[in-house]
Chain A
């Protein structure tokens, strides 16, 4: 017997030996009983359309949420900028007042010293 013939014969025997067998009449009723007994399974399986609908809704909700978060972040940044600017102006104003006071004090001392000198 040639090599190829032997292989073909083995393949033929394998096909015959591995012929499919039926699990018996009770298989499907047992399965359907299990499905009916489990509340989560007993409910109708979701339709493909319904799943797609929920996916679309979820995606749209995510986009809206992302836009709102970005807007809120932008508003907060503007407010923080305004507050920093206000604090800087206030600091400059206080510094200006202090410098004026010091200038006046120095001037008045100089005037008093020159009046005393001329009087003498």
Chain B
């Protein structure tokens, strides 16, 4: 711990592994934004996303001894969040067609350059099949390259590339359709 009572990032995981509740809490604060955002974009529902994110961190607390480093922790959180989200969508497919308004409300605190277009894009991403949606989120929200996406989702690299290619084509097509409908 540093002089002002804050955990330094280097020993945060070590202290949490030693059972320090305050260190675990700080770890959660550090990663909650990424975990919650992945859950939100996958499920398109704020309450379901919060519930899923909480479950992921509870699972992390139970299995913390299996985490070996900061990089492993980030990898583990992304993997568990997306796999749990895909499982939920399989069990309750109605979440897949959640209202885009939920998404818009969830990000109302941000100041996007083109709010209408970005809202439309988020809604279209929410309409992609779950596996393709997970690939797109890891690529454009988490900024991972295709090899890391393949590792995180346990997917062949070519499948990841194919999901990306098809998803981008589908998004372009749907955006063009929407633009044509407006003119």
Interface residues of A in 1-28 (CB under 8 A from B): 6-7, 10-11, 13-23, 27-28
Closest A-chain residue to B140, C-beta based? A14
Contact with B along A20-38 (1 / 0, CB 8 A): 1111000110111011000
How many B residues are at the interface, by size bracket? 35 or more
Binds B, one of A45-53, A69-77, A83-91: A45-53
Contact: A22 with B41, CB < 8 Å?
A: no
Contact: A21 with B107, CB < 8 Å?
A: yes
Distance in angstroms from A96 CB to nearest chain B CB is 73
Q: Which residues of A contact B143 (CB under 8 A)?
A: 15
Total A-B Cβ pairs within 8 A: 109
Kindly state whether residue B28 has any CB partner on chain A within 8 Å.
yes
Set B65, B112, B117: member contacting A45, Cβ < 8 A: B65
Given contacts A14-B140, A34-B54, A48-B17, contact A21 B32 (CB under 8 A): no
Contact with A along B78-121 (1 / 0, CB 8 A): 00000000000000000000000000001101101110011101
Q: Which residues of A contact B21 (CB under 8 A)?
A: 32, 35
Distance in angstroms from A3 CB to nearest chain B CB is 10
Set B17, B18, B58: member contacting A34, Cβ < 8 A: B58
Bound together, the chains give a CA A32 to CA B58 distance in angstroms of: 9
* Given pairs A19-B110, A23-B36, A41-B62, 10 additional interface contacts (CB within 8 A): A14-B171, A16-B118, A17-B122, A21-B33, A21-B107, A21-B109, A28-B28, A28-B32, A45-B62, A51-B65
Residues on B lying within 8 angstroms of A by beta carbon are 17-19, 21, 25, 28-29, 32-34, 36-37, 40-41, 49-50, 53-54, 57-58, 61-62, 64-65, 106-107, 109-110, 112-114, 117-119, 121-122, 125, 136-137, 140-141, 143, 168, 171-172, 175
